[in-house]
Amino acid sequence: MRDENTNENAVPPRWTRRQFLGTLGGAAVAAPGFSIAQPAARPNSPKTVAIIATKVAKYSHAQHFIDRFLEGYGWQGKHHRPSLRLASLYVDQFPENDLARERSKRHNVPIYPSIAEALTRGGSKLAVDGVIIIAEHGDYPKNEKGQKLYPRYRFFKETVKVFEDSGRAVPVFNDKHLSTDWRECVEMVEDSRRLNFAFLAGSSLPVTWRIPSIELPLETELEHSVGVCYGGVDSYDFHGYETAQCMSERRAGGEAGVKALQALKGDELWTRVERDKPLAELFFGALARSHSLKSPPGYSVWKPSIPWIRKCSPDATGFFIEHLDGFRTTQFLLNGYVRDFTYAGRKQNGEILSCQMQLPMPPSNTTLADFFNPLVNNIEQTILTGRATYPVERTLLTSGITIAGVDSLHAGQKELETPHLSVAYRPAETSTYWRA
Amino acid sequence: MAPPPQRKLTVLLDALEPGQPSQQLLDRFLIGYPADGKWNAPAFKSITVHAPREAWKADGGLGRRAKDFGLNREDAPAKALQDASAVLVIPRGNGVTANEAATEAAIEASPENTPIFVHGSLANSLQDARRLTGLAVNRKSPLAAGMQLNTAGRLPAFEIPLDSQLKEALVVVQGSFGSGEYAGIHCLLPLIERRAGGESGIKRIYRYQGPILWGVARSGRWPRRLLAPALSRSHSPQGDPVADGRTQDLVGLGLVEKLASAPRGWVVEHRDGFRSTILILDGVVADFNFAIERKDGSVLSAQIHQPPKPNEENYSRLAAAIDRFFASGKAHWPLERSLLAAHLQSAFLNLSLLGGNVSDLSAMKPPIAYRTN
């Protein structure tokens, strides 16, 4: 059963609030012949998960997830052992520094040669209670727009095939954006609706520590969000969008969808910032939450200014995003000037809220990437309850924004209309960031 | 609207050392710093530095700041201090060892009522801390001391409500002898002084060095049960996590004892029955964490957040606290905390030098008892 608002070519739907709420919390109606998330686990035995990974090496995303399931992690003042058992692995690539085989051997978790076998654990039917897809890092080609073609969609579709063949579906987590192709992103979300399984996705940024630890109440009269981060296009920009979106979606009326996007660099970028005083105020407000503003050699601090930022970050990129309800998001990638993720938002009464979404990043600052702790905990809750702890529509939208940002840059910093990004949704009532 | 800039800040330095408090704080007062979501402009119209002559020659850092920001040089301490609106004393290094002569000069040569902030230890002994406090009282000059751990954020972010019913506290830090103890004391005191009745003073100090530390834990000499909640807050466990990135239950797997190189433990019995423990565990984790047990048995724990180098933005939080002190003459924490820190630091040093295991301070009068705000 396909969403009636979509056609054969998976034209992106406009999900209304009512439709979204229906899927998030309403009565579960699965495709014919489907049972809904019945556990594979026997009574009194822990639920099981399979991790489907591109590669497992020190500090690869998959390593962070696998180890948290196998070894546990610090959570709310204890070393928490997940009540889910990692039962099987599929790993796409085995580089020289592979850790998958060592983990498999030490913890007696089999690595299967295919996704289907990992999910069925060598049998004929789905034999796990949750699927975790970590398709980040690894040797994969790039397309002409510079997007790295991680096999998230392929991994997901092979998972869905097992669900269909088994007549049963279980919760799925997809790390980072859904795909580099919008139609594939939509198809993934549609599959989760068609087969009625909980689908959680995205970045660790929305769930990590915030400094200061601020919550945006639901229905906040917010008018503009600004995020500042670092990293590559089609890479960390996605984390930046998720940083801003987990705040923006809590505005009055919820998320309305995105109408247009333009990526800018160089003079065009900085002229836009200089001319838009309210934007500049938010930009510098976000920077004031950074712990990594670059200073000239020999100095500990340096006042942020556009000339200095331009000097430090000559390849800076700004993404100007117009939402359908008039809300604005502006995201900056300032490589060479910052090395953290910060946010500032203006309420309609002029008040500015700002914070850093804190990433204790190894190896320079820590030995563990513990921002994965809250993400893994959200995955646990999703699989244990069968309900996503936050809507996948957030990541559907940020995936689409990421793709549109790439497209705008590829088109020579052109402003692009984005009618396909009319993804309207409401956030979960409780924000899920790390605070205890 | 921002208040009008104050007149003149005098900074007494031993040296301008890259990355050390001298550079971190001087730059923030010269250039400004981020705080509370905005850029705080310098609060002083002029800044004068008095430092040894070799400090001006060392690497050109002070001279460069004179050129770039109009930093004033004054080689005569009395002249540097005579018309100061506020004085900042920053000893060499990280603040473990106080420059009592500089602080004394600041108190004596600055105008009466001039706020004076000392980075790090107020003094190297309780006797000297009390002497300096007395001098400041005579001059009616507000005096405060502290360091960046005093204003550090916590992960998770929480404050211990005043007059909390606390039973005991455990702080885990790292560092060489002296530096580790200094860090531990400055992590500990801002937490435990908020217990019901406030700080009551010290009764006894116990020193456990080496493997004996683990043996005495079994007989309850320090609260080993608080080690797991404290270390669960760490983002930087050592050992296997360094080798291959894995998470690890250091306490549950019995790895703490194996990883700790030359562990040191200090158990402090307070006069009200409260007990504090500072563990200096190099090789176990590489961040500072604590756990506090309430009288109802519940446990609070957190990491004391230290933002990354080179910015070390905890210095911005400290600079903001110092700025508020200079503007109001009122410190955000009582000077008695600095007296107690000096007392503990020197008591730890003496106990180590003498090779003793216990120091009985129950007869000391008056005890350092205070309440925070």
Among B234, B245, B311, select the one facing A292 at the smallest CB separation: B311
**Where is pLDDT greater, at B127 or A10?**
B127
Kindly state the percentage of chain A with pLDDT values over 70.
90
- Distance, in Å, from the CA atom of B73 to the CA atom of B141, rounded to the nearest integer, reads 24
Nearest C-alpha in B relative to A339: B308
Q: List Cβ neighbours of A287 (8 Å cut-off, separation of 6 or more).
A: A228, A293, A304, A338, A342, B34
Give CATH for domain B6-150+312-333. Answer: 3.40.50.720
Q: What is the pLDDT of residues A133-156, one digit of tens each?
A: 999 999 999 999 999 999 999 999
Same domain, A72 and A107: yes
Contact assignment for A301 to B307 by CB distance below 8 Å: no
- Distance, in Å, from the CA atom of A227 to the CA atom of A239, rounded to the nearest integer, reads 10
For residue B82, the distance in angstroms to the closest alpha carbon of chain A comes to 28
Hey, where are the domains in chain B? Answer: 6-150+312-333, 153-305+343-360
Same domain, A70 and A192: yes
Kindly state the percentage of chain B with pLDDT values over 70.
99
- ω before A363 within 30° of 0 (cis)? yes
- Does B95 contact A at CB distance below 8 Å? no
Contact assignment for B155 to A292 by CB distance below 8 Å: no
Contact assignment for B311 to A209 by CB distance below 8 Å: no
Tell me the average pLDDT of chain A.
Answer: 92
Interface test with B, best of A86, A102, A301 (most B CBs within 10 A): A301
Contact assignment for A301 to B31 by CB distance below 8 Å: yes
Among B27, B38, B237, select the one facing A301 at the smallest CB separation: B27
Among A68, A213, A292, select the one facing B247 at the smallest CB separation: A68
Same domain, A194 and A228: no
Compute the count of residue pairs across chains A and B with CB atoms less than 8 Å apart.
137
Same domain, A286 and A252: yes
Among A303, A352, A368, select the one facing B236 at the smallest CB separation: A368
Same domain, A141 and A67: yes
Strand ranges inside A83-190, DSSP E: 84-91, 111-112, 130-134, 168-169, 172-175
Residue among A171, A152, A144, A109 nearest A409 (CA)? A144
pLDDT for the residue numbered A23: 38
Contacts of B23 in chain A (CB under 8 A): 300
Kindly state the percentage of chain A with pLDDT values over 90.
88
Same domain, A165 and A285: no
A6 lies in some domain = no
Regions of chain B where pLDDT drops below 50? none
Tell me the average pLDDT of chain B.
Answer: 96
A28: confidence class by pLDDT, cuts 50, 70, 90: very low
Whichever domain contains A69, its CATH number is 3.40.50.720
Are β-strands B166-173 and B288-294 bridged in parallel, bridged antiparallel, or unpaired?
antiparallel
pLDDT for the residue numbered A31: 62
Among B38, B286, B305, select the one facing A285 at the smallest CB separation: B38
Residue among A244, A242, A350, A227 nearest A290 (CA)? A227
pLDDT for the residue numbered A430: 85
A196 lies in some domain = yes
A407 lies in some domain = no
In the predicted structure, residue A27 carries a pLDDT above the cut 60: no
Among A72, A99, A304, select the one facing B249 at the smallest CB separation: A72
pLDDT for the residue numbered B3: 65
In the predicted structure, residue A11 carries a pLDDT above the cut 50: no
In the predicted structure, residue A40 carries a pLDDT above the cut 90: no
Interface test with B, best of A300, A308, A355, A433 (most B CBs within 10 A): A300
- Distance, in Å, from the CA atom of A188 to the CA atom of A194, rounded to the nearest integer, reads 10
A2: confidence class by pLDDT, cuts 50, 70, 90: very low
Q: What is the tally of structural domains in chain A?
A: 2
pTM value?
Answer: 0.94
Same domain, A227 and A333: yes
Contacts of A362 in chain B (CB under 8 A): 245
| Span A340-345, average pLDDT | 98
pLDDT for the residue numbered A173: 98
Contacts of B301 in chain A (CB under 8 A): 77
Contact assignment for A367 to B61 by CB distance below 8 Å: no
In the predicted structure, residue A3 carries a pLDDT above the cut 50: no
Same domain, A237 and A346: yes
| Span A342-359, average pLDDT | 97
Is residue A140 a contact partner of residue A97, using CB atoms and an 8 Å limit?
no
Same domain, A34 and A164: yes
Structural domain span for residue A63: 17-204+369-389
A45: confidence class by pLDDT, cuts 50, 70, 90: confident
Q: Which helix (H) or strand (E) holds B230?
A: helix B227-231
Contact assignment for B308 to A291 by CB distance below 8 Å: yes
Nearest C-alpha in A relative to B285: A367
Please list, residue by residue across A64-102, b when 16 or more beta carbons sit within 10 angstroms of its beta carbon and e when fewer do: bbbbbbbbbbbbebbbbbbebbbbbbbbbeeeeebbbee
Nearest C-alpha in A relative to B248: A71
In the predicted structure, residue A12 carries a pLDDT above the cut 80: no
Contact assignment for A289 to B246 by CB distance below 8 Å: no
In the predicted structure, residue A7 carries a pLDDT above the cut 60: no
pLDDT for the residue numbered A20: 39
pLDDT for the residue numbered A15: 47
A43: confidence class by pLDDT, cuts 50, 70, 90: low
Count the Cβ atoms, other than its own, within 10 Å of residue B316.
Answer: 26
Nearest C-alpha in A relative to B293: A77
Same domain, A295 and A233: yes
Contact assignment for B316 to A74 by CB distance below 8 Å: no
A7 lies in some domain = no
Interface test with A, best of B59, B67, B235 (most A CBs within 10 A): B235
- Distance, in Å, from the CA atom of A350 to the CA atom of A327, rounded to the nearest integer, reads 14
For residue A103, the distance in angstroms to the closest alpha carbon of chain B comes to 10
List strands edge to edge, sheet with A172-175: A111-112, A84-91, A47-53, A130-134, A172-175, A199-202
| Span A24-40, average pLDDT | 50
DSSP string, B55-122: HHHSSSHHHHHHHHH--EE-SSHHHHHHT-SEEEEE-STTSSS--HHHHHHHHHHSPTT--EEEES-S
ipTM over 0.90: yes
Same domain, A148 and A183: yes
**Taking every pair of C-alpha atoms in chain B, what is the biggest distance, in angstroms?**
62
pLDDT for the residue numbered A36: 53
For residue A80, the distance in angstroms to the closest alpha carbon of chain B comes to 9
Same domain, A112 and A224: no
For residue A291, the distance in angstroms to the closest alpha carbon of chain B comes to 6
